[in-house]
A and B are shown apart, each in its own frame.
Chain A
């Protein structure tokens, strides 16, 4: 499967009378945007703001971050099974409005939502302080159930992203890259001497608003399966998560998965990137056993020489991670796991809830319990009053000078387990 991705560099975003993309500047019509959000009767009010790198702006509670993209050629449309028809994507041509993002916020949905600071020390811990953000601030109708509120916010963000992405359909890309995954047979013939490596991507699927969707299917109702790298680039996987902000994979992460991109970079040179096994993280032990068994079975079926496994979230998914690791290793296939740590504020506690002797290669996104003080910023988009209740916040964490103290857990993308962020130790 082959996809040509045209990257259009966005230099600025501003509001205007009509929506368009000209010379890398996104002009957005607020009325048109409002209509798109308010077509869902569960949302009573919406406001739009622009947050740029360096602005004295704090966005919280952040629900999802989405990159605007559009399908230019080939079958299907962006976010298949959710916004577009369910047609298989990942081939043809796609345009990306690189450097821009849609950020959804508003009244809190679940307690596990995040903070994006556009400047100050907090900005260093989130990749979304470096993007030009259109912030969608939504208020639900009175009495809306939590899960309906989550659904309304999720869908509105995706609709807005699709609308903005569409503006780039006829633009001339600043850079074009071609990504290709050969069939099993082609790969074997083309790269007979290269090690066969797959990426095992674990999807958060604990339920109760800890969900991920694959072609519109709730991942907790899926069996482990195979997906190609370019399908991800067309939005085959989207986030429906209200899970701890630091290590949840937003839709933006799924679209720009760094493990996928790094493996593609080495594909045909150092290794043969065979594809991606997606597997879930459910709350029933039988599901954990079944999904990890299937992961190992697929790894063996693909005749892998190695696998990289990334986790999403923490706590009981640590067990899914370890099960995947040890079962794949038991097939004689070496693995490297990517996770993060909840090692206590002083870093001295056990980092993961589960462990196994076969987990010998581990990459960490950092310690999510580490404390950070975020100074007052001039403007807040969303609702600051909940930062003592979000995961990583705590009672009394708002000082009189307007600063807040939180664990890194509260910052969107801070310890991302795809390795999207840049936390490192000296």
Chain B
């Protein structure tokens, strides 16, 4: 899906847990997610901590989307 959307000229950020697969299939902007059963959250955290984590993931993804890349790039969530 990532590649098909990019093919029509829209940049895509792939937020995913298993980044090596994302690299193998050829995504250009990759943001590591938390875990396969809960990519965008972490049930081990409190609600407040989890909300902050979610925001960081989304902000990283938005930053990745607006960053020019020349090669496949992984944007680590800070």
Chain A contact residues, CB within 8 Å of chain B: 206-208, 283-285, 288, 316, 318-319, 322-323, 353-355
Q: What residue of chain B has the Cβ atom nearest to residue A326's Cβ?
A: B20
Contacts A207-B37, A283-B36, A319-B20 supplied; 5 other A-B pairs, CB < 8 Å: A316-B18, A353-B24, A354-B20, A354-B21, A354-B24
Is B32 in contact with chain A by the CB < 8 A criterion? yes
Is B35 in contact with chain A by the CB < 8 A criterion? yes
The answer to whether A206 and B36 touch (CB under 8 A), given A354-B24, A355-B24, is yes
Kindly list chain A residues whose C-beta atoms are within 8 Å of the C-beta of B20.
319, 322-323, 354
- The residues in B between 14 and 35 inclusive whose CB is less than 8 angstroms from any CB of A are 17-21, 24, 32, 34-35
* Chain A to chain B: the 6 pairs with minimum beta-carbon distance, closest first: A283-B36, A283-B35, A284-B35, A319-B18, A354-B21, A316-B18
Asked if B36 and A353 sit within 8 Å, CB to CB, the answer is no
Chain B contact residues, CB within 8 Å of chain A: 17-21, 24, 32, 34-37
Q: CA of A147 to CA of B65 in the docked complex: distance in angstroms?
A: 40
Kindly list chain B residues whose C-beta atoms are within 8 Å of the C-beta of A322.
20
Q: What residue of chain B has the Cβ atom nearest to residue A206's Cβ?
A: B36
Kindly list chain A residues whose C-beta atoms are within 8 Å of the C-beta of B32.
285
Q: CA of A353 to CA of B24 in the docked complex: distance in angstroms?
A: 9
Q: CA of A206 to CA of B35 in the docked complex: distance in angstroms?
A: 10
Kindly list chain A residues whose C-beta atoms are within 8 Å of the C-beta of B18.
285, 288, 316, 319, 354
Asked if B37 and A319 sit within 8 Å, CB to CB, the answer is no
26 contacts between A and B (CB under 8 A): A206-B36, A208-B37, A283-B17, A283-B35, A283-B36, A283-B37, A284-B17, A284-B34, A284-B36, A285-B17, A285-B18, A285-B19, A285-B32, A288-B18, A316-B21, A316-B36, A318-B21, A319-B20, A319-B21, A323-B20, A353-B21, A353-B24, A354-B18, A354-B21, A354-B24, A355-B24
Q: CA of A159 to CA of B21 in the docked complex: distance in angstroms?
A: 40
Residue of B18, B34, B37 ringed by the most chain A CB atoms within 10 A: B18
Q: CA of A318 to CA of B24 in the docked complex: distance in angstroms?
A: 12
Q: CA of A277 to CA of B32 in the docked complex: distance in angstroms?
A: 28
Kindly list chain A residues whose C-beta atoms are within 8 Å of the C-beta of B36.
206, 283-284, 316
